[in-house]
Amino acid sequence: MEKIRLVIAEDQAMMRESLAQMLALEDDIQVVGTASDGERALSVCRAQKPDVLLTDIGMPKVSGIEVTDTLRKELPDTHIVILTIYGDDDKVFAAIKAGARGYVLKDSPPEEALAAIRAVARGGGLLPPALASRVFNEFSRLSTQRAVDNAVFAHLTDREREVLSFIGKGMRNKEIAESLFISEKTVKNHISKIFEKLEVNSRAEAALLAARQGLV
């Protein structure tokens, strides 16, 4: 049987070595490299082109999330398993969006890391039960928020969307006016209507909504 070629990225030397020794004992796994920071992890993966990278989410120099995003683009056949801690939800959500396929809590039994590595190597994924409900709730919340945003943005005219996109880019009224070949007074009128429709009180709030809606 062809072995799963694995790279391990973990900044704590003792844990990194322990994982490497333990996983190398498995008949179907070959540890082809290790890394103590995200920068080194990228370098090792580019050289070895492993089937799976097992990486800590909070690596020095380049985070596990950034490593995941980079490898998804450069080495799509290398799948990522993230090592994380319970309660680090924001980073887990970011890793999911970046393209990680497996997640393992650091204090979980070794069998869970093995299961995740094998699952992603087969093209699947694995999310521990302890994280699954939290991830589901967060994405459910984001879906609901997106639906609310869509309903609100539906009331904007095409011109107001244009102005809002410029606000999201941090442009001043004068710059917006010059870009759209309209007067500053007209820009102010558009912004006033945008604030009213989006129920916001500042350019910063409007810019945040624009970013969330993908206008920026």
Q: Which domains does the chain have, with CATH numbers?
A: 4-130 (3.40.50.2300), 148-212 (1.10.10.10)
Phi (first) and psi of residue 192, to 5 degrees: -60, -45
Phi (first) and psi of residue 3, to 5 degrees: -80, 150
Cα–Cα dist 205/201, whole Å: 7
pLDDT in tens, the chain (216 residues): 689 999 999 999 999 999 999 999 999 999 999 999 999 999 999 999 999 999 999 899 999 999 999 999 999 999 999 998 765 667 777 888 888 888 888 888 888 899 999 999 998 887 766 666 666 566 666 666 666 666 667 888 999 989 999 998 889 999 999 999 999 999 999 999 999 988 889 998 888 888 877 766
pLDDT, position 145: 65
Beta pairing, strands 102-105 & 29-35: unpaired
DSSP 3: P
pLDDT, position 144: 65
Cα–Cα dist 85/57, whole Å: 9
pTM of the model: 0.64
DSSP 87: T
The residues, ordered by sequence, that sit 6+ positions from 101 with a Cβ below 8 Å of its Cβ are 79, 80, 81, 119, 120, 124, 125, 126
pLDDT, position 53: 97
Cα 40-125-33 angle, rounded to 5 deg: 25
Cα–Cα nearest to 97, from 115, 72, 126:
72
pLDDT, position 1: 64
